[in-house]
């Protein structure tokens, strides 16, 4: 569970969304750094909000310093961070929020545990593999991670010298080197809203 101090604003969001219980869902974007996870999440958020949905984006890089400031990047720490974000996502989704979580989440077992938490809570959950090739991600290098790895300034970069286990059966697979953002968002919107009771 995340530290208690991080939960107060989440409780307020969940309380405010209480009248929409049953309409929420979590969309979990997994993929390599610079694959396009956050770009898609933000674009989908705009689309869903314009249609009147309550939406929260949980970007892994933004959430980690708040929920997991004491964690590093060992497998155990990465899994703990994923579990915490998954806990928050399910809490919000259970209370009517559509949660868009953009998290590298490299290990299948940790992602499966997030799915299981949603299943046990009766909360809708969609895994989206942003399957952009590592060569494309390295060329984009939005945060300079691939350059730092090449220069020897860091190690354990997911997809290079750090392991990434691609989802075997995601609800949707998107390659942002092939699909435009607008085309990808169209597919994502259909995925999320086709069973939404609102």
Residue 86: helix, strand or coil by DSSP? helix
- Residue 105 a catalytic site member: yes
128 DSSP β-pair partners: 29, 172
**Rounded Cα gap, residues 74 and 155, in angstroms:** 11
Catalytic pick from 15, 34, 74, 105? 105
| Phi, psi of 11, deg, nearest 5 | -60, -40
Closest CA to 60 of 42, 91, 37, 90: 37
164 in Cβ contact with 32 (< 8 Å): yes
Can you tell me whether residue 38 is helix, strand or coil? helix
- Annotated catalytic residues are 105
């Amino acid at each position: 569970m995340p530290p208690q101090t991080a939960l107060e604003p989440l409780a307020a969001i969940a309380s405010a969304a209480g009248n929409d219980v049953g309409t929420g869902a979590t969309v979990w974007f997994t993929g390599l750094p610079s694959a396009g996870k956050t770009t898609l999440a933000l674009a989908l958020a705009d689309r869903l909000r314009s249609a009147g949905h309550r939406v929260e984006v949980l970007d892994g890089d933004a959430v980690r310093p708040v929920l997991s400031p004491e964690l590093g990047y060992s497998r155990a720490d990465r899994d703990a961070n994923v579990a915490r974000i998954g806990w928050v996502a399910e809490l919000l989704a259970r209370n009517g929020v559509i949660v868009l979580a953009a998290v590298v989440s490299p290990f299948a077992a940790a992602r499966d545990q997030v799915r299981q938490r949603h299943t046990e809570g009766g909360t809708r959950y969609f895994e989206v593999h942003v399957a952009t090739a590592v060569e494309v991600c390295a060329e984009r290098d939005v945060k300079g991670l691939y350059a730092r790895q090449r220069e020897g300034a860091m190690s354990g970069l997911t997809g290079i010298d750090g392991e990434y286990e691609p989802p075997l059966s995601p609800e949707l697979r998107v390659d942002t080197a092939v699909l435009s953002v607008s085309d990808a968002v169209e597919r994502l919107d259909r995925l999320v809203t086709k069973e939404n009771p609102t």
